Amino acid sequence: MDYQEKRAFKMQLYEQFALIGKALANAHRLELLDVLAQGEHSVEVLAQECALSIANASQHLQILRAAHLVAVRREGTYLYYRLADESVFAMWQAMRTVGETHLAEIGHIVRTFLHEREQLQPISAQELLAMCRDDQVTVLDVRPANEYQAGHLPHARSMPIEELEARLTELSPQKTVVAYCRGPYCVFADEAVTLLRKHGYQARRLEQGFPDWNLLRLPTETESV
């Protein structure tokens, strides 16, 4: 392979990688990936979750699909999207880590909007596993019910955040309650812990979201619909 062939090879290769970078270079598309990490969703649900019009959500999803970051299936007149595979979430997780390490503004934004988070006593996945083995804890999945059905922590109970206050009597006050949600920038678990403590429960939030837990190859369960 001569010099010109080497240059042609490298440029064609890097141009393909650049397609992924271009697809990720939009805040709405990153949020769509974050929601899709929870499981398959229709365009309509994704648009609602990300505060987009259906047309705008569809356009962003088509760009992600062109970069092979998401897959789609049709059911009647509805389209349902999912991540292409777990490597897509691993890439998003790596982006988060790099951003948190090198962009001071990310830490500033988190502290500004989630300034009480450290008081919620975050617990690691390994700590939670140990507490579950000793039957010391009630685990709450406070994401939407359809995301719980797609996959959840073992023995976790589904109590979407909007239902939690009305269902507090279902929880034992003798056990610590650990709430988890979509990930480090999701506030459902923060809201759940604050509410539980207000009503006298011992409550903590899981540091990781469900996709992070799943990527650690820790046990998970699915719920038949």
Catalytic center residues: 181
Q: What are residue 26's phi and psi, to 5 degrees? A: -160, 130
Cα 48 to Cα 26, 44, 55, 116, 200: the distances in Å are 18, 6, 12, 27, 33
Query: Kind of pairing, strands 203-205 and 137-141?
Result: unpaired
CB atoms within 10 A of CB 125: 16
Give the three-class secondary structure for 204: strand
Q: Which residue has the tokens 């502290």?
A: 111
Which H or E element spans position 210?
helix 210-215
